[in-house]
């Protein structure tokens, strides 16, 4: 008998009276072979010791009474005591428990208790870090888990047009705290010489640009691998130098990067600065993620505490031991908890600090964002003399005692007041940095949500250039321990004499150093300049919610990741990581996107799918940039052979370069000078292509001018904006094609003319897909048979790829991407939509530089820059005007 059966038997026998015995042997009583209970009852007569014929009533009844009570006991008690689940009343049973009994839920009351709630929150953000505004967002947004964070994607309410309206006329707010900040400290020359390896002057201002080096402006650039410009880019960063301190050569630099890029950037920075010695923390925290240790001493560098999210779960002030355990989250989305965050170099003296999740960053977009800021933030009020004399552990009273710091504060406050008089954010010089110390904005929160409007004084001139050194945001200091609790403020508010008036006196811990960084709006192109300009608000961590809610109460719209994509689309700038196909993060993103789109496609029933093969769309879910650039280089090379000498020289050049780097990777053209040249050749026009724009002197486009350009940038892609001339809405991965001469005649016939049509293609794979399906259902046969039965075609796919045929999508070795359709393909669209600002369909994408030059050279002057655009799901080409904006 197995052990389980023994156990079962024991359990059954537990409540049996000793007089009743089941025979052992693995058989249950009553299966026919063993005497059942009633047999015992009557058969027992024979077994009884009483003489035959005499029925002893009393002992008989006694024995039966014992049996009856045993039966009753067995009936009333639930037999399967191994299931806690079944012991519960029905209304408390949960389906999850039937799978795993240990998931017995506590009561809601217990779950919602503060301490338990915190534990639950800690558990849930162990894998994907929450921002400080997470709970606020989770109530209102569709959340996505991306890049190790939980981020709001889009609001649950309708928001597309309201958000655009907010961006163009009022203010849109966004939480960008997931951006990673890396701090570099060291001698200025050392830093600049190390960092110069990562950038190139050709691609615009570098780290050494005068304006940003002085600390007055924020700079932005694209970082490359050390010394590998222009082949290996990493991605875009923004940076901020701290102004020079008096009599010290030490400088401090903050570099802000996207989390997907940080894992590439940080090792690169370490290698150029020769910073490889990890500085071990003074107290190495040995903690597993499971244990929650309330640590009171501030050591945020080592174990960055994820800061509290709402007012109710705000961090406990120091010394408050009675409260629930302080939240302790180890690590963040981009690193494991045990890795060091500080590195020092012995040779160069540079220190690298990873400040991820140490600084809260909010972005306000729109012309009224400074009005919102001006209403929300008030320059910090001074301490009165009484408190100043007393020694204090808080930072503000100490700060007040320092004369020089106070004069700086007064200067900053004055400048801030001037800013209040500005009508639109776009009037300010782009990238201005302004440091300020402000009062806790919760003190002045209005009782009702209202819309912040500008108050303009007529008499003011332009704000020329803000020259205020920024006050430091307390990083790795204990200042954030002093965040006043919401509860405390609510109590104070309830005691105010006039409801809704400002709380006074200001609590001592209610001063926050903040940093305001102006974000330039649309800088490229000729139209809508400064559209989408705004401010970034940088705060010390822990203050997130204290600033978020007051900002929301000023009538701003809140947006998620989706709207930031639309923002950069309207600005005409590439968005990271979507539009950086040559960066590792961008390539990763494209793969991920392809998988997602393909999965979505496969979920449709085959009969309802778009057959992309029939539409002549080779790669509906990705863009094979490398193949495109290689093919175009070949085509343009063939075109060059017709010329004498010139073409041969170019050929030679190409081969010589080919020897140096046999596998050339496609890159995006970022050299400002070349882009400007290319832009001029495209005959820039206004968005719908009606009026030409004035441009500076551009050498005329001919073969002699194009040849050196091609030789230098043959394998590159150019970021371009395409506006449709008539109706139509471009979609993701729409094809950019070259119009033929007949197409251009069609265009000159009239403005309302529609574009040409692509003849439908034949799907040679359909029969194979069906056959394969049939085969898998019936029996497996050799794949050679499949091959033989196929109609002979130029694109004979090998047997390995026919394994993963998807109906409607080309299998992997793609044929020539350029010449697959009736019109040559130049590139693909990465962002396309109806543009609310231009009033026509607009697309942003990349085109091959070689292909574009080839096209422009062959086009007549009046039609230069007119291309065709075709959606993957359509056969209809639409005319579009290309603009390369620098």
- Using CB under 8 A as the criterion, what x/- string covers residues 465-504 for binding other proteins? x-x-------------------------------------
Judged by CB under 8 A, the residue of 40, 135, 144, 211 near other proteins is: 211
Q: How far is the CB of 690 from other proteins (least distance, A)?
A: 10
Considering the rule CB under 8 A, would residue 712 count as an interface residue with other proteins? no
Q: Any idea which residue has 């369909």 for tokens?
A: 841
**Counting runs of H as helices and runs of E as strands, what totals does the chain give?**
28, 23
Q: How far is the CB of 709 from other proteins (least distance, A)?
A: 16
Judged by CB under 8 A, the residue of 22, 85, 423, 601 near other proteins is: 423
H/E stretch holding 206 reads none
What's the rounded Cα separation, in Å, for the pair 605 and 597? Answer: 15
Judged by CB under 8 A, the residue of 185, 197, 430, 822 near other proteins is: 430
- Residue 762: CB atoms within 10 A of its CB come to 10
Q: Any idea which residue has 């729409």 for tokens?
A: 734
Stretch of residues binding other proteins (CB under 8 A), selected from 126-134, 209-217, 560-568, 644-652? 209-217
Q: In what order do the strands lie in the sheet with 233-241?
A: 219-224, 233-241, 250-257, 180-187, 351-354, 342-344, 277-278
Nearest to 721 by CA among 840, 629, 859: 840
Considering the rule CB under 8 A, would residue 834 count as an interface residue with other proteins? no
Stretch of residues binding other proteins (CB under 8 A), selected from 65-73, 206-214, 794-802, 821-829? 206-214
Tokens representing residue 160 in the block: 């597309």
Considering the rule CB under 8 A, would residue 461 count as an interface residue with other proteins? yes
Q: How far is the CB of 565 from other proteins (least distance, A)?
A: 25
Nearer to other proteins, 533 or 868 (CB): 533
- Using CB under 8 A as the criterion, what x/- string covers residues 516-545 for binding other proteins? -------x---x-xx---------------
Stretch of residues binding other proteins (CB under 8 A), selected from 455-463, 491-499, 788-796, 864-872? 455-463
Beta bridge partners of 235: 223
Q: How far is the CB of 166 from other proteins (least distance, A)?
A: 17
Q: How far is the CB of 685 from other proteins (least distance, A)?
A: 13
- Residues of span 680-709 touching other proteins by CB under 8 A: 696-697
Residues 869, 875 contacting (CB under 8 angstroms): no
Considering the rule CB under 8 A, would residue 208 count as an interface residue with other proteins? yes
Nearer to other proteins, 312 or 530 (CB): 530
Tokens representing residue 460 in the block: 């003011």
First to last CA, the chain: 84
What's the rounded Cα separation, in Å, for the pair 474 and 472? Answer: 6
Checking phi first, is residue 147 left (phi over 0); if not, alpha (psi -120 to 50) or beta? left
What's the rounded Cα separation, in Å, for the pair 121 and 131? Answer: 12
Nearer to other proteins, 424 or 848 (CB): 424
Nearer to other proteins, 432 or 818 (CB): 432
H/E stretch holding 746 reads helix 741-749
Nearer to other proteins, 203 or 613 (CB): 203
DSSP single-letter state for residue 227: T
Q: How far is the CB of 730 from other proteins (least distance, A)?
A: 22
- Residues of span 3-22 touching other proteins by CB under 8 A: none
Nearer to other proteins, 260 or 369 (CB): 369
Nearer to other proteins, 199 or 830 (CB): 199
Contacts with other proteins by CB under 8 A: the residue count is: 32
Residues 199, 397 contacting (CB under 8 angstroms): no
3 state DSSP class of 22: coil
The residues near 290 (Cβ < 8 Å, ≥ 6 apart) are: none
Q: Any idea which residue has 């990238």 for tokens?
A: 431
Residues 479, 317 contacting (CB under 8 angstroms): no
Stretch of residues binding other proteins (CB under 8 A), selected from 48-56, 201-209, 393-401, 492-500? 201-209
What's the rounded Cα separation, in Å, for the pair 499 and 491? Answer: 12
Judged by CB under 8 A, the residue of 125, 194, 206, 218 near other proteins is: 206
- Residue 800: CB atoms within 10 A of its CB come to 11
- Residues of span 275-304 touching other proteins by CB under 8 A: none
Strands 129-130 and 149-155: parallel
Judged by CB under 8 A, the residue of 5, 83, 94, 201 near other proteins is: 201
Q: How far is the CB of 527 from other proteins (least distance, A)?
A: 7
Q: How far is the CB of 206 from other proteins (least distance, A)?
A: 5
Residues 107, 92 contacting (CB under 8 angstroms): no
H/E stretch holding 185 reads strand 180-187
- Using CB under 8 A as the criterion, what x/- string covers residues 656-685 for binding other proteins? ----------------xx------------
Considering the rule CB under 8 A, would residue 160 count as an interface residue with other proteins? no
Considering the rule CB under 8 A, would residue 804 count as an interface residue with other proteins? no
What's the rounded Cα separation, in Å, for the pair 560 and 230? Answer: 33
Considering the rule CB under 8 A, would residue 271 count as an interface residue with other proteins? no
What backbone torsions phi and psi does residue 434 show, to the nearest 5 degrees? -140, 120
What's the rounded Cα separation, in Å, for the pair 422 and 415? Answer: 12
CA angle centred on 62, ends 61 and 67, rounded to 5°: 95
Considering the rule CB under 8 A, would residue 464 count as an interface residue with other proteins? yes
Considering the rule CB under 8 A, would residue 427 count as an interface residue with other proteins? yes
Considering the rule CB under 8 A, would residue 210 count as an interface residue with other proteins? yes
Judged by CB under 8 A, the residue of 424, 432, 486, 871 near other proteins is: 424
Using CB under 8 A, list all residues that contact other proteins: 201, 204-206, 208-211, 213, 423-424, 426-430, 454, 456, 458, 461-462, 464-465, 467, 523, 527, 529-530, 672-673, 696-697
């Amino acid at each position: 008998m197995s052990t389980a059966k023994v156990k079962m038997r024991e359990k059954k026998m537990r409540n049996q009276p000793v007089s009743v015995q089941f025979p052992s042997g693995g058989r249950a009583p009553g299966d026919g072979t063993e005497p059942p209970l009633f047999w015992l009852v009557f058969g027992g007569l024979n077994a009884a010791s009483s003489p035959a014929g005499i029925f002893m009533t009393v002992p008989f009844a006694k024995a039966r009474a014992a049996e009856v009570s045993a039966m009753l006991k067995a009936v009333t008690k639930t037999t399967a005591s191994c299931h806690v689940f079944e012991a519960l009343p029905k209304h408390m049973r949960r389906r999850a428990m039937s799978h795993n009994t240990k998931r017995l839920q506590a009561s809601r009351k217990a779950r919602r208790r503060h301490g338990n709630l915190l534990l639950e929150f800690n558990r849930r953000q162990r894998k994907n870090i929450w921002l400080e505004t997470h709970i606020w967002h989770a109530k209102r947004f569709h959340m996505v888990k991306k890049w190790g964070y939980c981020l709001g994607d889009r609001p649950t309410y309708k928001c597309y047009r309201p958000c655009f309206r907010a961006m163009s006329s009022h203010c849109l707010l966004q939480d960008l705290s997931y951006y990673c900040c890396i701090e570099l400290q060291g001698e200025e020359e050392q830093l600049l010489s190390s960092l110069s390896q990562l950038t190139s002057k050709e691609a615009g201002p570098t780290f050494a640009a005068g304006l940003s080096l002085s600390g007055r402006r924020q700079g932005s650039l694209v970082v490359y691998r050390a010394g590998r410009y222009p082949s290996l880019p990493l991605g875009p960063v923004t940076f901020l130098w701290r102004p020079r301190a008096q009599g010290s050569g030490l400088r401090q630099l903050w570099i802000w990067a996207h989390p997907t890029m940080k894992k590439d950037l940080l090792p690169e920075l370490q290698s150029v600065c020769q910073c490889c010695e990890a500085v071990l923390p003074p107290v190495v925290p040995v903690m597993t993620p499971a244990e929650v240790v309330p640590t009171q001493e501030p050591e945020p560098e080592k174990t960055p505490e994820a800061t509290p999210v709402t007012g109710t779960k705000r961090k406990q002030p120091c010394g408050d031991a009675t409260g629930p355990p302080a939240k302790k989250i180890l690590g963040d989305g981009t690193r494991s908890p045990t890795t060091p965050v500080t590195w020092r170099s012995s040779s160069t003296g540079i220190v690298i600090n990873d400040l991820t999740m140490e600084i809260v960053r909010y972005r306000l977009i729109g012309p009224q964002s400074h009005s919102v800021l001006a209403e929300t933030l008030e320059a910090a009020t001074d301490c009165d003399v009484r408190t100043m004399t007393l020694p204090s552990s808080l930072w503000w009273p100490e700060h007040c005692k320092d004369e020089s710091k106070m004069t700086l504060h007064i200067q900053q406050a004055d400048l801030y007041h001037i800013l209040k008089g500005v009508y639109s954010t776009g009037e300010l010089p782009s990238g201005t940095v302004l440091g300020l110390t402000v009062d806790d904005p919760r003190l002045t929160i209005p009782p009702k949500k209202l819309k912040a409007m500008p108050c303009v004084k007529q008499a003011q001139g332009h704000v020329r250039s803000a020259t205020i050194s920024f006050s430091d945001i307390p990083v790795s200091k204990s200042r954030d321990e002093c965040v006043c609790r919401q509860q405390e403020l609510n109590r104070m508010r309830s005691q105010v004499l006039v409801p809704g008036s400002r709380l006074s006196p200001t609590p001592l811990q209610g001063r926050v150093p903040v940093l305001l960084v102006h974000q330039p709006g649309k800088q490229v192109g000729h139209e809508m300049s400064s559209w989408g300009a705004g401010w970034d608000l940088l705060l010390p961590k822990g203050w997130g919610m204290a600033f978020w809610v007051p900002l929301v109460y000023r009538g701003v719209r809140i947006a998620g990741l989706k709207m930031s994509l639309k923002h950069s689309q309207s600005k005409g700038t590439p968005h990271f990581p979507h539009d950086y196909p040559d960066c590792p993060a961008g390539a990763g993103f494209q793969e991920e996107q392809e998988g997602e789109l393909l999965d979505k496609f496969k979920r449709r029933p085959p009969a309802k799918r778009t057959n992309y093969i029939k539409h002549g769309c080779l790669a509906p879910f990705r863009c094979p940039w490398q193949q495109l650039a290689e093919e175009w280089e070949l085509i343009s090379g063939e075109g060059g052979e017709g010329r004498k000498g010139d073409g041969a020289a170019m050929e030679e050049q190409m081969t010589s370069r080919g020897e140096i780097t046999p596998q050339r990777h496609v890159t995006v053209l970022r050299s400002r000078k070349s882009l400007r040249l290319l832009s001029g050749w495209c005959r820039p026009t206004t968005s719908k292509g009606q009026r030409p724009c004035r441009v500076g002197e551009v050498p005329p486009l001919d073969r002699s001018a194009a040849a050196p350009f091609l030789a230098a940038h043959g394998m590159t892609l150019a970021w371009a904006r395409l506006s449709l001339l008539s109706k139509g809405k471009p979609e993701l991965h729409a094809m950019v094609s070259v119009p033929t001469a007949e197409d251009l005649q069609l265009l000159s016939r009239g403005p309302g003319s529609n574009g040409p049509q692509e003849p439908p293609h034949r799907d040679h794979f359909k029969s194979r897909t069906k056959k394969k399906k049939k085969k898998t259902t019936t029996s497996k046969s050799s794949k050679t048979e499949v091959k033989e039965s196929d109609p002979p075609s130029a694109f004979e796919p090998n047997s390995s790829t026919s394994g993963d045929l998807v109906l409607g999508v080309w299998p992997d070795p793609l044929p020539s991407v350029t010449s697959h359709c009736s019109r040559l393909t130049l590139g693909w669209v990465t962002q396309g939509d109806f543009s609310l600002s231009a009033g026509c369909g607009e697309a942003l994408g990349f085109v091959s530089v070689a292909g574009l030059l080839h096209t422009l050279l062959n086009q007549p002057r009046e039609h230069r820059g007119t291309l065709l655009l075709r959606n993957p799901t359509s056969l209809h080409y639409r005319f579009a005007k290309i603009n390369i904006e620098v």
